[in-house]
Amino acid sequence: MSMGALRLMTLGQTCTASVSRHARVGWSSLNVRALGSSNVRRNDFLTTPIFYVNAVPHIGHLYSALIADCAHRWQRISGAEGTIFSTGTDEHGLKVQQAASLAGKEPLEFCDKVSQEFRRLFNSSYIQYTDYIRTTEKRHHTAVNTFWTTLQDNGFIYKGEYEGWYSTSDETFLSSQQVEDGIGKDGSKVKVSVETGNAVEWTSETNYMFKLSDFSTPLLEWLDKNPRAVYPPKFNNMVRQWVQDGLQDLSVSRQRDRLQWGIPVPGDSSQTIYVWLDALVNYLTVSGFPGQTKLWPATHIVGKDILKFHAIYWPAFLMAAGLSPPKSIVCHSHWTMGNFKMSKSRGNVVDPFDRLKTYTPDGLRFFLLREGVLHSDGDYTDEKILKLLNSELADTFGNLLSRVTGKALNPSQVFPKCHAELFPWQQSSQLASGRATAEDYALVSAVSLLPDSVDSHYNNFEAYKSLDEIMSCLRQANAFIQRHEPWYLIKNKDQEPWLETVLYVAMETLRICGILMQPVIPEMAERLLCRLGVEESDRTLKDLECFQGMQRVIESRPLGEDTGVLFSRLQFKNRR
């Protein structure tokens, strides 16, 4: 946080303590910010997991992609160029092989169709990926082959007898401590995974094994040296515990007669490479491996169910191949419905296409990013989303814009002039003539603090914290309008300077909030900024200087075209 912001925070607290009309609260030059010039952004590489094509997408999948998209958009707004943001589909493995056969399709034909559905979902949800990778692509086969050969040449792969449990649903090997008695779909007694409840099968075959047990110490060192290697701390502690509990060598291939749908082990076509090793290498494929490793290491955004694969197997594989382990693994929790994990068999899967239509892409993005927190699960209900969108996007955000730009209060359709003598930015004797109250100063102070703190929340992948603070400013701005009743001011010519100042403060608040909300609601933010007459080139981190700093630039500038309400209130419909 900048010194200015710190000082302002103290001031903000002082401001709210008193609400007297001509409160003597100045804020010197604290609102002049220079975030854009001081924070030089490094180019970055962000990834989503690649999605299994055995089933169609649901909102949980969309959530993983949204967290990454929001962070990536913020990097771009912050001035980063040449970033990579990848997503795509995970198309090999037993579960895809079985799903294709169940659908009566050839595996590749099946994958083409479902992969296209994920792509359609991401395009419709404004996920601005720079690369869409499919593990059935040639470039990926090349990368996996080279990666495997490197592991082998470096002495980390050996052939051994693997005996243990395998869960096809989770595509994972399990020890006997990780399974328990359960009931199968047909009511019969089966063994299931303790963690996921999915059925497991006894597997006994000759496989290639990876020397994971060699990596406990390097992994702990990596975690110690890089506090952000796994984030947030809750998940970092979990990973540390897993490593400390001991690591066993990992089977990294399956017999070809059991699994045909995958990449054969180089030099041994009787074996297929384990789908997780194959899938994790997608991140390297995107970076141009084996020819190059652009922007490596990457930051991976993953759900908690796949943390072990990313935070243990993946860094160990990379170290074994002589490559840098991930820069960071950002782990998020899950969306449930009716407080149960979404699953097709339980019938509680939320269809994202349907919700995009009902709530608009920005509406769905806003809800998922506003309500989703990294460290704990969130329960999805249509009632919750509807109430949130109505109260925040329609009544607070949209309403403020309509009020201050509508012809009733703003007949000349300009970003009005600020009369500093009525709302002095500097503490001086002039203050006596000011008309701003302590609450007004509190608003201006809160808005001035937003950019620094929102910047840090977005960089921590915690959009919900950004949105919390932004919405609080917007609510304060609505209260500010309510307090100064511009609909009376407009009736009296003498009040024109004060009316302009009131509109100016509200519009500055909207301009700052609009720039800051671009990563979450890109379409609405675009319409808002156009309406305020803010040029496309003026919507970045360097444009977040507010109030008197920007006054010279934007005041008296014409507003853009009125394209109607920002977000239309939704009516409650009973869903199943």
Closest to ligand MSP by CB, 191 vs 332, is 332
CB of 198 to ligand MSP, least distance (A): 12
Closest to ligand MSP by CB, 4 vs 352, is 352
- The answer to whether 36 and 540 are in contact (CB under 8 A) is yes
The number of beta carbons lying within 10 Å of the beta carbon of residue 352 is: 23
Strand partners, 116: none
CB of 374 to ligand MSP, least distance (A): 11
Task: Using DSSP, state whether 374 is helix, strand or coil.
Answer: coil
Closest to ligand MSP by CB, 121 vs 507, is 121
Closest to ligand MSP by CB, 280 vs 454, is 280
- The answer to whether 145 and 263 are in contact (CB under 8 A) is yes
The number of beta carbons lying within 10 Å of the beta carbon of residue 51 is: 23
CB of 350 to ligand MSP, least distance (A): 9
CB of 119 to ligand MSP, least distance (A): 14
Tokens describing residue 27? 């804020």
CB of 316 to ligand MSP, least distance (A): 14
Q: Give me the residue label for tokens 């950004």.
A: 466
- 38 sits in which H/E element: helix 35-38
CB of 307 to ligand MSP, least distance (A): 9
> Which of 547, 351, 533, 514 lies closest to 445 in space, CA to CA?
547
DSSP structural state of residue 37: H
CB of 404 to ligand MSP, least distance (A): 38
Residues in the chain: 576
CB of 576 to ligand MSP, least distance (A): 19
Closest to ligand MSP by CB, 250 vs 342, is 342
Distance, CA of 524 to CA of 563 (rounded, Å): 11
Closest to ligand MSP by CB, 235 vs 458, is 235
- DSSP per-residue codes, 444-479: HHHHHHHHHHHHHHHHTT-HHHHHHHHHHHHHHHHH
Distance, CA of 261 to CA of 93 (rounded, Å): 6
**Amino acid identity of 49?**
P
- The answer to whether 416 and 555 are in contact (CB under 8 A) is yes
Residues in contact with ligand MSP by CB under 6 A are 49-52, 60-61, 63-64, 90, 279-280, 282, 302-303, 305-306, 334-335, 342
> Which of 55, 60, 142 lies closest to 102 in space, CA to CA?
55
Distance, CA of 386 to CA of 367 (rounded, Å): 9
Nearest residue relative to ligand MSP (C-beta):
303
- The answer to whether 180 and 173 are in contact (CB under 8 A) is no
CB of 532 to ligand MSP, least distance (A): 35
Distance, CA of 335 to CA of 341 (rounded, Å): 7
CB of 52 to ligand MSP, least distance (A): 4
Answer positive or negative: Cα dihedral of 446, 447, 453, 454. Answer: positive
Closest to ligand MSP by CB, 36 vs 49, is 49
CB of 185 to ligand MSP, least distance (A): 20
Tokens describing residue 103? 């659908």
C-alpha torsion angle, residues 347, 348, 349, 354 (rounded to 10):
100
